[in-house]
Amino acid sequence: MTTDVIEQDSHDEHHDDSHEHGKMTGIKRWLYTTNHKDIGTLYLWFAFIMFLTGGAMAMVIRAELFQPGLQLVEPDFFNQLTTVHGLIMVFGAIMPAFTGFANWMLPMMLGAPDMALPRMNNWSFWILPFAFAILLGSFFMESGAPNFGWTFYAPLSTTYSNGSTAFFVFAVHIMGISSIMGAINIVVTIMNLRAPGMTYMKMPLFVWTFFITAYLLIAVMPVLAGVVTMLLTDTYFGTSFFDAAGGGDPVMFQHIFWFFGHPEVYIMILPAFGIVSTIIPAFSRKRLFGYSSMVYATSSIALLSFIVWAHHMFTTGMPLFGELFFMYCTMLIAVPTGVKVFNWVATMWRGSLSFETPMLFSIAFVILFTIGGFSGLMLAMTPVDFQYHDTYFVVAHFHYVLVTGSLFSIYAGAYYWLPKWTGHMYNDTLSKWHFWCSLISVNLLFFPMHFLGLAGMPRRIPDYALQFADFNKWVSIGGFAFGLSQLIFLAVVIKCIRGGEKAPAKPWDGAIGLEWTVASPAPYHTFSTPPPQKDIDNADQHEH
């Protein structure tokens, strides 16, 4: 195995020299690049900067909620903060971070020279900073930033808009263009650029999850574009799609929005499944348990995601048949999700486990994501949801799946591949500090929210009744601690880029995958010629 690695390295270096273009220097390298690794890096840094920006807003929110009464910010500004916090975390942090992983890893995992459409890849990225400049810029405009919640329900965003709707709509439009082009690139790369001999069922599960996620994106981002367009015409051009006086229906907004929105939440979790399914086998020194069932489970979740949207709207007065249909379909999703959780546990079962930081984040993911899944099941029950709807229970639920789910998987993946990306090992002690501080503070932050919600504290409010004060104090302390803990990660990454122990081509003894057959850091161009068949066979995640 070692000799293979060396052969491959020298081979790639040789090829790198003969390639017609290398890196450009300075800012031009990043502005004009067509290299999947450069673009991946851009996506990841952008996502992290947005994460800190959205996080700073969360800090203000938690500071305001530290004790009852209005302390720091005006209620209207509080609404702007919750709205933009949500939009940034969904569209600016989690989604671009996953796209960054896709860009960095897919060509290397598939044995491809680059993404299929490299120039379009660059375009997809560079639209994003501009889109978020518009969104964040609206804080400094006369109208203020959007204040109608990240779900921008009509008529809050139409009749009662503070005037920020137009900027919001056009920012979402160009974000959507970026996402669709990124997703098309991912699908085409996977369908067309697999190395010869890599059949669909030999692809790493990581690739499968991004494949399915990209399909979801292509299917639903245009629906988002459609619904914001109707929002725009309702607000500014006199249409009444979401206004009963003209024959429309505000509830129709919610239907169309959640037809986008529910697949969207799987867009933010399926890639996490792929990352965790890569890491858990590596540190269990076993192959992934039930590879095929993982592929089918992921596909089932994706298909089901199209017929469950109205579980977000149980309290809107849907016909009874609708409530029951959406309740049962939603609960069905627990089946393929359960398959996954059991497969991860079975992969660890009797494995030779070690607990490096990527593994710690992955195990935390399995446990805490499952908690988020169970609270999701509670919310799926129509009569129960009547009680929980729009309370902090919902906030607790989706932060468990998005923070301890998606975000933890992103950390796991970042620690796992940082040696490959930078050529250095990260500082192990600091990374463990990051993990344990995050783990403890995140539970202090989000777990008590369940109790607050069950006791009836509504979400999206700047003030609350006195009986919620104690829990909110602890939640805020957890929030500040969690926010500060993320700066440890920034320190780890900067130290890792600047230096540290030299990483071998394959720093994890149990890792499999084509990315470990090339040097660390990965050469600027990898796999200009396809990898040998035996490397592809070695990378197969099936149990033997």
Give the residue numbers marked as catalytic.
85, 114, 150, 178-179, 262, 264, 266, 277, 311-312, 337, 340, 459
Can you read off the two tokens belonging to residue 500? 């540290």
Query: Which CB atom, from 256 or from 492, has the smaller least distance to other proteins?
Result: 256
- Least CB distance to other proteins at residue 379 (A): 24
Q: Judged by CB under 8 A, which stretch of 54-62, 121-129, 280-288, 302-310 contacts other proteins?
A: 121-129
Residue pair 128/92 in contact by the 8 Å Cβ criterion: yes
**Interface with other proteins (CB under 8 A), residue from 88, 89, 97, 169:** 169
For other proteins, which is the closer residue by CB, 283 or 314?
A: 314
Task: With both helix axes pointing from N to C terminus, report the angle between 428-454 and 357-380 in degrees, rounded to the nearest 10.
Answer: 10
Half-sphere exposure of 96 (CA within 13 A, CB side): 31
Out of 78, 148, 208, 259, which residue is the one contacting other proteins (CB under 8 A)?
259
Q: Which part of the chain contacts other proteins (CB under 8 A), choosing from 130-138, 307-315, 449-457, 474-482?
A: 130-138
Q: Are 527 and 107 in contact (CB under 8 A)?
A: yes
Minimum distance from residue 260 beta carbon to other proteins (Å)? 8
Output the six-digit token pair for 102. Answer: 């896709």
- 93, 231, 256, 412: residue in contact with other proteins (rule CB under 8 A): 256
CB nearer to other proteins: pick between 308 and 449: 308
391 phi and psi angles, rounded to 5 deg: -110, 175
Q: Is position 112 an interface residue for other proteins (rule: CB under 8 A)? A: yes
Assess 308 for contact with other proteins (CB under 8 A).
no
Tell me which of 63, 134, 334, 444 binds other proteins, using CB under 8 A. Answer: 134
Cis peptide before 155 (omega within 30 of 0): yes
User: What is the Cα–Cα distance from 530 to 516, expressed in whole angstroms?
Assistant: 15
- Judged by CB under 8 A, the stretch of 55-63, 107-115, 281-289, 391-399 that binds other proteins is 107-115
Tokens at 101, concatenated: 């992983």
Where in 376-405 is the site for other proteins (CB under 8 A)?
Answer: none
DSSP count for the chain of H helices, then E strands: 20, 0
Q: How far apart are CA 46 and CA 161, in angstroms?
A: 29
- Is 163 a binder of other proteins (CB under 8 A)? yes
User: Binding residues for other proteins, how many (CB under 8 A)?
Assistant: 85
Q: How far is the CB of 229 from other proteins (least distance, A)?
A: 8
- Residue in 69, 75, 246, 338 binding other proteins, rule: CB under 8 A: 246
* Residue nearer to other proteins on the CB measure, 237 or 498: 237
Interface positions, 174-213, toward other proteins (CB under 8 A): 174, 177, 180, 183-185, 187-188, 191-193, 196-197
Question: Interaction with other proteins in 210-239: which residues (CB under 8 A)?
Answer: 218-223, 225-227, 229-230, 232-233, 235-239
Assign 3-state DSSP to the chain and report helix, strand, coil percentages, each to 5.
75, 0, 25
8 A C-beta contact, residue 505 and residue 430 = no
Between CA 214 and CA 382 the distance in angstroms is 30
Among 144, 155, 248, 504, binds other proteins (CB under 8 A): 248
Angle at 260 between CA 125 and CA 133, to 5 degrees: 35
Beta carbon of residue 250, minimum distance to other proteins (angstroms, whole number):
9
Minimum Å gap between C-beta 252 and other proteins is 5
Neighbour count for residue 165 (Cβ, 10 Å): 24
Output the smallest distance, CB 299 to other proteins, in A. 17
Ranges of H-type helices in 404-468: 408-422, 428-454
CB atoms within 10 A of CB 324: 12
CB of 226 to other proteins, least distance (A): 3
The residue among 126 and 150 lying less far from other proteins, judged by its C-beta, is 126
* Shortest distance in whole angstroms from residue 91 CB to other proteins: 14
Which tokens is 385 given? 């949801």
Beta-ladder partners of 147: none
Instruction: Give me the least distance between CB of 504 and other proteins, in Å please.
Output: 26
Site for other proteins in 313-342 (CB under 8 A): 319
Residues of this chain, 32-91, that bind other proteins according to CB under 8 A: 32-34
**Residue 91 carries which DSSP code?**
I
Spatial CA neighbour of 513 closest among 173, 274, 256: 274
Determine the Cα–Cα distance for residues 106 and 191; give it in Å rounded to an integer: 11
190 or 496: whose CB is closer to other proteins? 190
> Residue 394 and residue 372: Cα distance in Å, rounded?
10
> Of 16 and 428, which has the nearer Cβ to other proteins?
16
Residue 384's CB: how many other CB atoms inside 10 A?
A: 15
- Nearer CB in complex with other proteins: 218/497: 218
| Cα distance between residue 523 and residue 150, in whole Å | 40
In 3D, which of 237, 214, 129 has the Cα closest to residue 174?
Answer: 129
Using CA atoms, how far residue 231 sits from 122, 155, 197, 246, 261, in Å, is 30, 9, 48, 14, 16
The least CB distance from residue 436 to other proteins, in Å, is 40
Of 10-29, binders to other proteins (CB under 8 A) are 20-21, 24, 28-29
466-525: which residues touch other proteins (CB under 8 A)?
Answer: 525
Q: Which is nearer to other proteins, 173 or 459 (CB)?
A: 173
